[in-house]
Amino acid sequence: MDSFQMLFSSLSVKGMELKNRIVMEPMIVRYADYDGSVTPRMIDYLEKRAEGGAGLILTAGAYIVPEAKYRPNQLGVYSDDLMPGLKELARALHGHKAKAGVQMIHSGRRLSESVYGSEPVAPSPVAHAGAFMGAHGKAMITPRRLSMRDIKDLVEAYGAAAERIKKAGFDMVEIHGAHSYLINQFLSPHTNKRTDAYGGSLEGRMRFALEILEQVRAETGESFPVSFRMNGDDYFGSTGIQLEEAKKQAPHFVEAGADILNVSAGSSILEATNWNIPPMRIPRGVHLRLSAGVKEVVDVPVIGVGRMNDPYLAELALSEGKLDLVGMARALLADPELPKKAEEGRVKDIRKCIACNHCLDLDTSRFAACTCAINPELGRERIFRIKKVKTPKKVMVIGGGPAGMTAAMYAQLRGHNVTLYEREGQLGGQMLLAVMPPHKEEVQEFIDWQIRQLETLGVTKVLGKEVTTDFVVGQSPDVVIVATGAVPATLSIPGADSEHVCSFQDVLEGTATPKGAVVVIGGGRVGAETAEFIAEKGGKVTILEQLPVICPDMGASARYFMCEALKDVGVVMLPGSRAVKIVKEGVVIADSSGEHTLKADAVVLAVGFYPERKILDELIEADFYKLRAIGDCVEPKSILRAVQEGANTALQI
């Protein structure tokens, strides 16, 4: 059994006894009601993480006044009217021996009028160029400069909100002073251009934060633990906070009343979001240098963050003295039972977050509730309180990609007798290709996890089997789930079948090795990742995309970082360009300037997928109607949709 002695050691903070060193970091998942009140969905979500073993649960950033709201359905602590729900939430978390706290927040200039209708405010009238600018249908505007009276009122509002949190029965409170929210906007010279007592020098820029800490301490008393979340690095270079300045700030926060420092980094500005919510191309434990640096100058517990999704990494960081508490956010969205599994020595059963940032991008841009690409239970915990069926059915699943494996897993969990058939010699489907591009190796961990769950649950797997209609009929299944995936689409233009043309699948599987000047037709996620793959091997790559942006199928931040990566390896991107025909010399394209030829030694097609419907159509033709079709064989889609469809279908059987 694996030993995580430090990770599962206790820690006391002002009488608050934490059973282990794992902290669930706050995330604005939008499970609250429209007025910020607690909902059953929010309780279910957080209670599942408490049940999973986290020592401390910090709830999502709760807005302290109505005008501070950042997202629809965000938790609020601005009124006594919200107390009943807050009390119920605290009781639920305590029922699993977890300690619970609420993080307080004011969005400042990050507020968009299209979200709330209020005017954004900030220390200075510096407009916010956010990572999701334009995704909401309305760009963020230049904020109003806060007056001295405004500042005093906000300090008092923080204190009043903290008092509510204490009265509701929570064990502690956290003040969010990072990630370019209002307090960080005061702290950072990047956004604070004031020349009065609240700007200029380090002392001036800290004044707002210190007054809030002092007010919160005054309202909650000396024995109530207070955490302050700070940036160890804004990642704005010399125009923002860097580690050396953060180390100067930290002792002042402690002196003003902070009992814990929660050290993070980055902001919502595009260049810095990479560090705020690191994608999979950023190494695990990326911010440990920051927590370690802050620990050098304070004598209170320090929380460290930054893709801490692995208990071995967490134990190592603790043993090396880089932090006192391990902050986990997306890791506990992907697997709320990570702490329990690690403590029980079941590390291989942990569904590790792959940092794909679906939770950040694909929901944020549409204002929907948060979802996870690999955990279909997130936000639907009550639905997934799985009960065994009274009458088990014989379930045949055809296709071993993410949709098929998920369906098989949940059907078996419900007590059905499941057999999974896969035409190829290994499971994984299109995910096997998704592993191949640069920096996507962690997708393999999800494939391995799914396979392990199938084995643990006792799902019968038949690999290398081409299923036919006669075979299906002969097996007499009660239900057939078709999850046969998709195949690369072709392009109906002259020359698409030329010898120097191949598909992205050929490239990623290694059956084609394009060299020299390479044109990739199709600038979605697959085309972009394939282009990076080729460029890293020395190819001189140009991407063509008909739509006005590269990677239109990716969320805002993921798109930004993909395009930055392409620039780094010299890929030329041509949005708004259509391939007319492929010739020996290259590709004839049409753009706003007319038609012209791009020279190319090789052409790669990455123009999407066609559903693989062969067995599905044959079964329908044979009047076999005990069918469910899921995943890409219905319509090509993301891993998130494939996994959710697989789980949803299994629950309906």
CB 62 within 8 A of CB 174: no
Distance CA 317, CA 314 (A): 5
Average pLDDT (550-570) is 89
DSSP state of 645: H
Q: What is the reported pLDDT for 269?
A: 67
**Quick check: is 70 catalytic?**
no
| pLDDT category of residue 267 using cuts at 50, 70 and 90 | confident
| pLDDT category of residue 55 using cuts at 50, 70 and 90 | very high
The CATH code that applies to domain 394-487+610-651 is: 3.40.50.720
Distance CA 26, CA 174 (A): 10
Q: How far is CA 315 from its chain centroid?
A: 23
Q: Is there a shared CATH topology between the 11-344 domain and the 501-607 domain?
A: no
Distance CA 541, CA 19 (A): 53
DSSP labels, 182-237: HHHHHH-TTT----STTSSSHHHHHHHHHHHHHHHHHHH-TTS-EEEEEEEE-SSG
Q: How far is CA 243 from its chain centroid?
A: 25
DSSP labels, 57-85: EEEEEEESSGGG--STT--B-S-GGGHHH
Query: How does pLDDT run across 292-350, given as a tens digit for each residue?
Result: 999 999 999 999 999 999 999 999 999 999 999 999 999 999 999 999 999 999 999 99
DSSP labels, 517-529: EEEEE--SHHHHH
Please calculate the CA angle 165-169-172 and round it to the nearest 5 degrees.
Answer: 60
Q: Order of strands across the sheet with 586-591?
A: 578-583, 586-591, 594-599
Select 501-607's CATH number: 1.10.940.10, 3.40.50.170, 3.50.50.60, 3.20.20.70.
3.50.50.60
CB-based contacts of 628: which residues, under 8 Å, 6+ apart? 407, 479, 480, 481, 482, 649, 652, 653
CB 222 within 8 A of CB 189: no
Cross-strand partners of 326? 22, 304
Distance CA 419, CA 406 (A): 13
**Residue pointed to by tokens 């930004």:** 560
* b/e sequence 66-105, b meaning 16+ C-beta within 10 Å: ebbbbbebbbbbbeeebbebbebbbebbbebebbbbbbbb
Q: What is the reported pLDDT for 140?
A: 62
CB-based contacts of 600: which residues, under 8 Å, 6+ apart? 500, 517, 518, 519, 542, 585, 586, 587
Does the pLDDT at position 436 exceed 60? Answer: yes
**Residue pointed to by tokens 């199928």:** 553
Handedness of CA 311, 316, 318, 322 (dihedral sign): negative
DSSP state of 356: -
Nearest residue to 460 (alpha-carbon basis) of 526, 516, 411, 510 = 411
Q: What is the reported pLDDT for 529?
A: 98
CB 407 within 8 A of CB 481: yes
* b/e sequence 375-386, b meaning 16+ C-beta within 10 Å: bbbbbbbeebee
Instruction: Give the pairing of strands 594-599 and 586-591.
Output: antiparallel
The pLDDT > 90 percentage for the chain reads 88
Query: How does pLDDT run across 440-492, given as a tens digit for each residue?
Result: 999 999 999 999 999 999 999 999 999 999 999 999 999 999 999 999 999 99
Distance CA 110, CA 118 (A): 11
**Residue pointed to by tokens 């370019």:** 180
Which of 181, 235, 410, 421 is flagged as catalytic? 181
| Burial class of residue 621 in the structure, from the number of CB atoms within 10 Å of its CB (0-12 exposed, 13-18 middle, 19+ buried) | exposed
Distance CA 372, CA 367 (A): 15
DSSP labels, 570-608: T-EEEET-EEEEEETTEEEEEETTEEEEEE-SEEEE---
Query: How does pLDDT run across 525-537, given as a tens digit for each residue?
Result: 999 999 999 999 9
Q: What is the reported pLDDT for 127?
A: 82
Average pLDDT (492-510) is 97
Q: What is the reported pLDDT for 228?
A: 99
CB 251 within 8 A of CB 297: yes
Task: Report the predicted TM-score, pTM, of the whole model to 2 decimal places.
Answer: 0.94
| Burial class of residue 399 in the structure, from the number of CB atoms within 10 Å of its CB (0-12 exposed, 13-18 middle, 19+ buried) | buried
Does the pLDDT at position 556 exceed 80? Answer: no
Q: What is the reported pLDDT for 116?
A: 57
The CATH architecture of the domain made up of 11-344 is Alpha-Beta Barrel (3.20)
Nearest residue to 186 (alpha-carbon basis) of 162, 166, 158 = 158
Q: What is the reported pLDDT for 117?
A: 65
Distance CA 603, CA 606 (A): 10
Query: How does pLDDT run across 63-76, given as a tens digit for each residue?
Result: 999 999 988 899 99
**What is the helix, strand, coil percentage profile of the chain, to 5?**
35, 20, 45
Please calculate the CA angle 227-166-59 and round it to the nearest 5 degrees.
Answer: 55
CB-based contacts of 226: which residues, under 8 Å, 6+ apart? 162, 172, 173, 174, 175, 213, 216, 217, 220, 257, 258, 259, 260
Q: What are the residue boundaries of the structural domains of the chain, listed by start?
A: 11-344, 394-487+610-651, 501-607
**Residue pointed to by tokens 């809030």:** 212
Q: What is the reported pLDDT for 113?
A: 57
Q: What is the reported pLDDT for 277?
A: 85
Taking all residues of the chain, what is their mean pLDDT, rounded to a whole number? Answer: 94
| pLDDT category of residue 60 using cuts at 50, 70 and 90 | confident
Of 105-119, 193-207, 390-404, 418-432, give the lowest mean pLDDT range: 105-119
Q: Order of strands across the sheet with 602-605?
A: 501-503, 602-605, 517-521, 540-545, 572-575
Cross-strand partners of 518? 541, 602
3-class secondary-structure state, position 244: helix
Does the pLDDT at position 5 exceed 50? Answer: yes
Cross-strand partners of 503? 605
